[in-house]
Every structure is written in C-alpha cells, then in structure tokens.
Amino acid sequence: MRHAAPAPPPGWFAAATRGMPPAAVWSLVALACGLGGTALVLSGTARGSAAPIATPPSAAEQVVLAQRMAHLEESFASFEPTAARILAELREAALNEALAAPRSDRFVAAALTLQAALATPRPFTRELQVLRENAPPQSLPAPLAEVLASHAGRGLPTVWELRETFEALSPDLLARAPVEGWRLLDWSRGALSSIGLVRPPPVSAPRQAVTEILQSLARGHLAAAVADATTLDASVQPMLAGWMAQARARLSVEQAINETLLRALARPGRTG
C-alpha cells in the first residue's frame, strides 16, 4: 500500500518565493497548475479503471495504463530537481539585484558627499574611503581613484580662495607684463580724461585679461579662468606656476567626481 506524501507546511510557497520577481512567481504557479491538472486527469483515469466494471480491461489496456502511470511518475521525479534548481537560481538573482540596488544608491550618495566636501579646503580622505567601500564592481576605475587619492590627504583650495590668490598676484602680474605704448603718455591721457578733455586711454591687453580672469573666478568658472591664464605673456607664467598647479588639481578632481557620478547613474542595475 502506497502512503501519501506529507503535506508541505503552511506558507511554504510564500517563503520560497519571497524576493522573487512577480513574473517568475506567476510562471511557477502556471507550471504547477499545468502539472497538477495533468496529474488529476491521469489519476482520475486510473481510479476509473480500478472501479468495478462489467467487463474487465484487456491485457493490452492494462499495459497502456501502467505505462502512462510510470511515465507520469518519472515526469514528476525529473521535474522536482529541475524546479528546485530554477527556484534557487531565481531567488539568487533576485537577492543579488536587491543587494546591488542599495549599494549603488550608497555609492551615488558617497560621490555626492565627496563632491560637497570640495566646498571646503579640508582633506577628504574619509569621504573617499566611504566611496571606495560602497563602490560596485567597475564603478571606480583605477585612474579616477588615483586622481582622487593623490589630493585627498592635503585637500584643495576652493574657487574663492583661488580668486583671492590670483587677485593678490594681479599687481605683480601687471607690473611685469609688457605694455604697449608709453606709460607716461597713458598716464597723461588718463589725467586729462578725468576732466573731460580727451578720451581715456585704451585698456591694456594684460589688464583686460586679468580682469576677465577675476570675473570668471567670481562666477565660479574655474576652467575658463585657467584657459585665460594660459594666454598671459610668457614672462608672467613663472609667477602663476603655483596657482596654475592648484587650479588644475582642483579641475582634475572635479572632473573625476563628475565622471564617477555619471558612471554610477548610468548603471543599468540602478532602480528608481
């Protein structure tokens, strides 16, 4: 006499499919219903054949029925490990996706925190460490990490501090820069123009360039200021070497953070 298999505990299906995508759950439900319906049909045929009838089944019919029941048992036996494997793979994929999404969100938040830390000149070693700890695979390439790490321990001057430094250098830059024309003539025209007798002298090219650089820095356009500073006369470039190094270092760090944010936001695994 064959004994019925023990019934599964209550809530086993919900526990087994917890965290799975809804589409996968419904696929399993549909597959189970199809197999269950087939089993009911065949079992009903078996019970109907076993019921008392006027004419007993022939030997050929008994062989066919036995073959169908054996095939059904083999199908269920082969389906159990396959279903268990599919269920395990689906749950693992869902779990990986659930774990990856919060990590991506933490990575974006860490990048934004690092970006905000550049508003001050203090070191940003701690912010960079948090960024590394929450970086998903291939989200923080080595070149970007090296740029950030090379300046994290010292920090970087803010754009406002760079503006103050450049403004302090301006008198020396203008004094050393070559000026076209005679200074005495320009001074005389300036004095006479103040009382409306002549037009004021034209602004010299170095003074105009310095003014534009200061205006760019006041607007926060550091890249434009650096580009204009490179056009100044070669005689004043040694005086700007330190300032240019600091400005370019800040630009490289800002670019690295922006590229990191773009890579994080473009990841296909991010949700919401």
pLDDT digits (tens, 9 = 90+) for 9-27: 555 555 555 555 555 555 5
Give the closest residue to 252 by CA, choosing from 114, 150, 160.
150
Pick the most confident of 86-95, 136-145, 160-169.
160-169
* Domain membership flag for residue 259: yes
Contacts of 103 (CB under 8 A, 6+ apart): 134, 136
Alpha carbon distance 159, 120 (integer Å): 10
Alpha carbon distance 90, 17 (integer Å): 9
The residue among 126 and 52 whose pLDDT is bigger is 126
Alpha carbon distance 267, 272 (integer Å): 12
Query: Residue 73 — φ and ψ, nearest 5°?
Result: -65, -40
* Domain membership flag for residue 150: no
Q: What is the pLDDT of residues 47-97, one digit of tens each?
A: 444 444 456 667 777 777 777 777 777 766 666 676 667 656 665 665 455
pLDDT band at residue 251, thresholds of 50, 70 and 90? very high
pLDDT of residue 21: 55
Alpha carbon distance 127, 263 (integer Å): 18
Give the closest residue to 34 by CA, choosing from 85, 68, 79.
79
Range of the domain at 183: 159-265
* Domain membership flag for residue 255: yes
pLDDT of residue 51: 45
* Domain membership flag for residue 62: no
Contacts of 261 (CB under 8 A, 6+ apart): 108, 111, 112, 115
* Domain membership flag for residue 203: yes
pLDDT of residue 14: 55
pTM for the predicted model, two decimal places: 0.55
Q: What is the pLDDT of residues 89-105, one digit of tens each?
A: 665 665 455 445 577 78
| pLDDT above 70: residue 132 | yes
* Domain membership flag for residue 125: no
* Domain membership flag for residue 40: no
The half-sphere exposure of 148 on its side-chain side, counting CA atoms within 13 A, is 27
pLDDT of residue 266: 77
* Domain membership flag for residue 235: yes
Please give the tally of structural domains in the chain. 1
